[in-house]
Amino acid sequence: MAQSTNTLDRYDLATNGDNAREDLANIISDISPTETPFQSSIGKGTAENTFTEWLMDSLATASSSNAHIDGDEFSGDALSTPARLGNYCQISRKDLVVSRRANIVNKAGRRQEMAYQLAKAGKEIKRDVESVLLANQVGASGSNSAAGTTAGLPAWIGLAVSSEVDTGNTNRGSGGADPALSSTNDGYPNTAATDGTVRALTEDGLLSVIKACYVNGSNPNVIMMGPTVKQQFSKYMFSSNSRIATPYQDYGKNQRDGVGVVGAVDVYVSDFGVLDVVPNRLQRQVSSDYVDVFVLDTEYAQVKYLDDYRTDVISTVGDAERRMLLVDYALCIDNPGAHGIYADVDDDAAMTAS
């Protein structure tokens, strides 16, 4: 087929600048994940100084030989005092500058540019905080030239705080090592956990961590892991190797008018309680592997805020508006023995029994 002579076509409209109006949808699509499972599941408190502290204590080991003769002379038992733990606050910020023209011109998908950027930055800073809380970083006071940091969750689990706390709440790969406190049985984490050689997640290893948390006195209620590890966990639980019967549930009328298939494990019933199995996209990665699987008792963790999430109007300079989003916070692990970690996971490897 050919055009009629002197047909003005779409390509002619583009000559000397395109005369056709743009077809730009008046919507902005953003699927970036905004869920923060760790922050959402633990408590919230208030810090009153840049270094916030709390006390941790434990009972003496139960003795089956506590027997005395009639009239036995009194003698004082050895007593212990609570350990004093603490963490530094960290400031996370988002600084926004939007010119007057950028704010008022007609735009696709939004009216006020500053309002749009503020809403976006609010989600971003919450994601940043989630990543910080799950980072294997130590606490540091900071200075006038270096930012202070709050010790993240991996730097808390496995601390030798008390002789009554079972250190079996960590399971690490070859070469891995537990974190350390700034002073014996006291202080804040100033030595991060050492990453070991990655290996597959095992059911026996995970069960040993859950048991250790329970023996310490906690009631773990969450297993938190990266999305790839979550898939490996579900695959294993539905395999013949797991020795777990495939669950069946009467869902009643199917709301989607089709046959439903259960392909994920979201609740794990252990000998020591029921745990939600929660994927977290924002857990740390080492060489692209989501290496940490956490066993948590969410009652014994909280974020303390020296200054909660806030937006400040910064004085105008030139022909632009300025805003600052800020949060000043510290991760407080009330008792490190309440939580456990199966570390150094190769998330590409299938989960195994042992």
Q: How confident is the model at residue 154 (pLDDT cuts 50, 70, 90)?
A: very high
pLDDT of residue 165: 56
Which structural domains are found in the chain, ordered by start?
Answer: 34-54+83-243+263-342 (3.90.1690)
The pLDDT tens digits of the residues spanning 188-202 come to 999 999 999 999 999
Nearest-angstrom CA–CA distance, 49 and 307: 10
pLDDT of residue 258: 60
Distances (CA, A) of 275 to 50, 205, 239, 331: 34, 16, 20, 22
User: What would the two tokens of residue 215 be?
Assistant: 């023996």
The pLDDT tens digits of the residues spanning 47-104 come to 999 999 998 877 777 888 888 888 888 888 888 878 889 999 999 999 999 998 888 8
Say yes or no to pLDDT of 294 above 80.
yes
pLDDT of residue 255: 57
Task: Give me the percent of the chain exceeding a pLDDT of 90.
Answer: 60
Q: How confident is the model at residue 306 (pLDDT cuts 50, 70, 90)?
A: very high
User: What would the two tokens of residue 118 be?
Assistant: 């503020």
pLDDT of residue 164: 52
User: What would the two tokens of residue 201 be?
Assistant: 């997640």
Given a contact cutoff of 8 angstroms between Cβ atoms, the answer to whether 339 and 333 are in contact is: yes
Task: Give me the percent of the chain exceeding a pLDDT of 70.
Answer: 86
Distances (CA, A) of 124 to 127, 264, 314, 328, 341: 5, 29, 20, 15, 27
The pLDDT tens digits of the residues spanning 5-38 come to 766 666 777 776 676 666 556 566 555 667 899 9
pLDDT of residue 8: 67
pLDDT of residue 347: 94
Please provide the average confidence, as pLDDT, over all residues in the chain: 87
Report the range out of 9-23, 162-176, 216-230 with the highest average pLDDT: 216-230
Tell me the average pLDDT across 305-319. 92
pLDDT of residue 183: 87
Say yes or no to pLDDT of 224 above 60.
yes
Q: Which residue has the tokens 């639980």?
A: 237
Q: How many CB atoms lie within 10 A of CB 325?
A: 20
Given a contact cutoff of 8 angstroms between Cβ atoms, the answer to whether 272 and 219 are in contact is: yes
The pLDDT tens digits of the residues spanning 231-285 come to 999 999 988 777 665 555 555 555 555 655 666 788 999 999 999 999 999 999 9
